[in-house]
Amino acid sequence: MLLTIDVGNTNITVGVFDKEELKLTFRLMTNAPRTSDEFGLSMLELLGLNGVNRDDIEGVIISSVVPQVMHSLIGAVERYLECKPLIVGPGVKTGLHIVTENPKEIGADRIVDAVGAFEKYGGPVLVLDFGTATTYDLVNAKGEFVAGITAPGIKISAKALWEDTAKLPEVEIKNPGSILAQNTITSMQAGLVYGQIGQTEYIIKKVREESGLKEMQVVATGGLGSIIAQDTDMIDIYDRTLTLEGLRLIYEKNK
């Protein structure tokens, strides 16, 4: 079995693959300080509770945008899972050709998403990831990563509302059902969700216009992506496990 680990700014998402089948996923909080022992024991417990033994894990791959977590996490994998993990970064085969001005600036998570979308759905493809930040990455038909857009994520916008204003409360991020809000809670939800939908549709439109790739597919992922995807017809596919699938594909290319 293959253990795939995606270290994001908010969560660490772990997937277990048996060949091409995703058997199990679980999450840990990124910002909770942990030693390598705490990481290792948490992973072993969660794997064991789901019927996966340490000896079942034959390989591990990690992508991360949080460098300060990596020392403890790598130590945990090496000690408790007895595997040397493959870290997504320079020198790792991805199958993508990054043609931006500075390829080293492209985050590992964005490369992984792009690989997953291109391998699964072909190109040209625009990959949207609704995470802590909302990212839009364009891969052409030749498998070239040609452009990326970064915007504040919906959680960042929500946090700014309730932390930087005196009277606005913390609210659940969900579609209130109508943009014609009747109270403070639904007015905030409407602004957050419909504002994100509007941003998403405009950026997709501008990418099509400036790239000339009118036929590109639009694939979305990320925790809050389903809320946005179900209320716009400009997103073709919502793939919840795209990042984990991308990690598996990269591991196979480097095995």
Last residue of a domain, one of 58, 87, 116: 87
Considering the candidates 6, 55, 109, 164, report the single residue annotated as catalytic: 109
Given a cut of 90, whether residue 255 has pLDDT beyond it is: no
Structure tokens at 123: 């190109």
CA distances from 113 to 40, 203, 210 (A): 26, 18, 22
In this prediction, residue 218 carries a pLDDT of: 98
Tell me how many domains the chain contains: 2
Structure tokens at 229: 């995807």
3-class secondary structure, 107: coil
- How far is Cα 140 from Cα 144, in angstroms, rounded to an integer? 5
In this prediction, residue 31 carries a pLDDT of: 86
The answer to whether the CB of 168 falls within 8 A of the CB of 162 is: yes
**74 lies in the same domain as 110:** no
**62 lies in the same domain as 135:** no
Query: Is 254 inside a domain boundary?
Result: no
What is the CB neighbour count within 10 angstroms for residue 196? 25
**109 lies in the same domain as 81:** no
Percent of the chain with pLDDT over 90: 91
Query: Is 215 inside a domain boundary?
Result: yes
Given a cut of 90, whether residue 98 has pLDDT beyond it is: yes
**173 lies in the same domain as 48:** no
**56 lies in the same domain as 127:** no
pLDDT tens sequence across 178-212? 999 999 999 999 999 999 999 999 999 999 999 99
- How far is Cα 91 from Cα 254, in angstroms, rounded to an integer? 10
pTM given for the model: 0.93
Burial class (CB in 10 A: 0-12, 13-18, 19+), 203: middle
- How far is Cα 28 from Cα 165, in angstroms, rounded to an integer? 30
In this prediction, residue 79 carries a pLDDT of: 95
pLDDT tens sequence across 13-62? 999 999 999 999 999 999 888 999 999 999 999 999 999 999 999 999 99
Last residue of a domain, one of 40, 56, 87: 87
Residue 109 designated active-site? yes
**77 lies in the same domain as 104:** no
What is the CB neighbour count within 10 angstroms for residue 135? 21
pLDDT tens sequence across 102-153? 888 899 999 999 999 999 999 999 999 999 899 999 999 999 999 999 999 9
- Residue owning tokens 């007015």: 187
- Residue owning tokens 């320079």: 90
Calculate the CA 243 to chain-centre distance: 5
In this prediction, residue 143 carries a pLDDT of: 96
**Could you list the residue range(s) of the whole structural domain that residue 239 is in?**
97-247
